[in-house]
Amino acid sequence: MSSNLYSSGVANIWVDGNSSTSLTFLGVCEDECEITNTAKYKVVNADYAGGSDGVPADMSYLGQMLSVKMTISRMTLATVESLQARLTTPSTSQGQGLYTDIGTLMVTSGQAFRLLIYPQGYATNNSLQIFNFPNNAILDGDIVLNYSTRNLKAQLLFTVIPAWQANGSNGYSWTLWNNSTTGMGVVS
């Protein structure tokens, strides 16, 4: 059940360089990034409604997640290759893996990315939305490189899950995105 659809317009895409503060330029998304916000629910059954086979008595809210689709061009190929290397497994070369890699917790083990979508027109129109996903974007599937077009393009799909953080005496809170640009450099 999708709740919102966001679009960035033409944007510069930045990813982390294995650090929460330094970002590396990935490329330009010329066709806009498609960001789908999906709420997750679970059916709650009750005996008065027929038990597990009956009509639900309620729905339990489990949180939200995002899907981020983009096609980038004018990219830094070395950064794309580093994304591909991180996509396979952290412990062996690309195309190979260890049985211990199965079940790796992606965010906990540091395999998720910080992803920053910075609209190119933001400097003159700050009503545009900056999307910074703080180390909670997981590269979902393969990076599809399209060599048949005039310019090299790459199609990327990220799944973004909530990033949990301590919130003082209030316990924990979660963030899907914020508008931080810390660590962003200049596109040359």
Q: Could you read off the pLDDT of 63-75 as tens digits, one per residue?
A: 889 999 998 888 8
With beta carbons less than 8 A apart as the criterion, state whether 99 and 89 touch. no
Is 92 a residue whose pLDDT tops 60? no
Which one is predicted more confidently, 7 or 16?
16
| Distance (Å, whole) CA 43 – CA 113 | 31
Measured CA to CA in angstroms, residue 160 lies from 14, 45, 122, 139 at distances of: 15, 29, 23, 9
Q: Could you read off the pLDDT of 95-145 as tens digits, one per residue?
A: 666 766 677 777 777 778 889 998 887 766 766 788 898 888 888 877 777
With beta carbons less than 8 A apart as the criterion, state whether 113 and 137 touch. yes
Q: Which of 176, 117, 115, 165 is nearest to 140 (CA)?
A: 115
| Distance (Å, whole) CA 184 – CA 24 | 8
Is 91 a residue whose pLDDT tops 70? no
> What mean pLDDT is reported for the chain?
77
